[in-house]
Chain A
Amino acid sequence: MNFLTDAIAWISNPALHEGANSLTARIGEHLGYTFGAVLIGALIAIPLGILVGHTRRGAGIAVTFTGGLRALPSLGVLILIALSVGIGFQAPLATFVIMAIPPLLSGTYAGIHAVNPATVDAARAMGMTPLQVIFQVEFPLALPLVMAGVRSAILQVVATATLAAYVSGGALGVYIFSALARRDYTQMLAASLIVIALAFALEGLFALLQRLARPHGTVVLPVK
């Protein structure tokens, strides 16, 4: 148990909370990666998911593609990109975008695909243009599943963002990797606990957002 008390003492050390390298700054970098990568990933994956779900074409390719991306080892991809673009924040950001795309794409695709075809037909019969069908009918009804995709993308990136420090990309992994080099278990553990707490906090926040995303008067069936 004294590992834990040591870790808590490490976190509450006032020196940690001052200056440009403070804990707050590292948490800021960690969140920056998380939201930045998911935002860029969403700009790519959500339109693609809408396209596949709306046209009901290319679903097979989308599934194979997302499955293939999921099999990629994040550390290897990160290092491979870092070796070509150099150390810093670009390689981690690019890696995290790649990690964020599969859940966003499959969430959007599944959400649009699950919309009752009769509802879409009704919307068309009412004279809606294809764009109106997408933005006023399909996307709002798909929103809970899109948000489920966003939630798992956030989770995925907040976890892998720890690796950014391996290629000098900052974020909370800085404490872990510098401690690994010095075999300073207290600092390793303390930083790990902070990352875990951050992941739990984001998970709670996005679970709430996912619930709020449900349109009034609809029932969401669990899709897995």
Chain B
Amino acid sequence: MDWLAKNWELVINLSWVHIGLSILPVVVGLAVALPLGWVAFRYKRVGRFLVPASGLLYTIPSLPLFIALPVVLGTSILDPANLVVGLTIYAVALLVRQIVDALASVSQDVRQASVAMGYSSWQRFWRVDLPLAGPVLLSGLRVVAVSTVSLVSIGSVIGVTSLGYLFLNGFKRGIPAEVFTGVVATVIIAFLFDGALVLIGRFAMPWKRKVTS
């Protein structure tokens, strides 16, 4: 507690940095995964390749991925872009399958009714498929958000500052309170993200008060 009282400003600052680094991969990941998931759902032959391939990306361990990305991206090893791109890759890997499942959860009757009413496929996607797929999609987003928040701290090993700084610094100086503060702050941010997504879900899908996976 003593440590926290003296360093709360540092903890707050690092928390903001941590939040910033976590939001980007989730948002960009969703934006990339949405069209991919739609293609995989719509064209089953592509999906049979695309879904396992994206799943395989999730198999790549995080620290090795962050280290190998500079070769692909042409960035410096200390560039925060390696972390953000790596985490985005994980988000895409998890979300593509989830979006396919989410679209598959939409009742075929509803879909056909919208076609019969004269919806174009673009309108149908945004007004029928996506809203009805929302609950399943949201449960996937929640998993991605929580895992992204906890993975951001690994970036501190390759020099991208976040709450992970408290782990490394606390270890070097032998201050358990510092490390503990970092762990607790990370978990709190993960729960805040999760709660925010649940709230967004309630506002965006008022017809579905209960989120089922």
In chain A, positions 135-160 with a C-beta closer than 8 Å to chain B are: 155, 158-160
- A203 CA to B58 CA, complexed, in Å: 11
A196 is an interface residue with CB less than 8 A from chain B: yes
Q: Chain A's nearest CB lies how many Å from the CB of B34?
A: 18
Cross-chain contact A71 with B149 (CB below 8 angstroms): yes
Cross-chain contact B164 with A73 (CB below 8 angstroms): yes
Cross-chain contact B59 with A203 (CB below 8 angstroms): yes
Chain B contact patch, size range: 35 or more
In chain B, positions 148-188 with a C-beta closer than 8 Å to chain A are: 149-151, 153-154, 156-158, 163-164, 166-168, 170-171, 174, 176, 179-180, 182-183, 186-187
Cross-chain contact A71 with B150 (CB below 8 angstroms): yes
Main secondary structure of the interface of A (DSSP, over half): helix
Which chain A positions have C-beta within 8 A of B191?
71
Cross-chain contact B183 with A76 (CB below 8 angstroms): yes
Q: Which of A75, A160, A203 has the most CB of B within 10 A?
A: A75
Contact of A193 among B64, B163, B180 (CB under 8 A): B64
Q: Which of B71, B101, B158, B187 has the most CB of A within 10 A?
A: B71
Q: Chain B's nearest CB lies how many Å from the CB of A190?
A: 10
27 A-B residue contacts at CB 8 Å? A71-B146, A71-B190, A73-B163, A75-B153, A75-B154, A76-B182, A76-B183, A76-B186, A79-B167, A79-B168, A79-B170, A79-B171, A160-B61, A176-B63, A177-B157, A180-B157, A180-B158, A183-B77, A189-B67, A191-B64, A192-B63, A192-B65, A195-B63, A200-B56, A222-B101, A224-B97, A224-B101
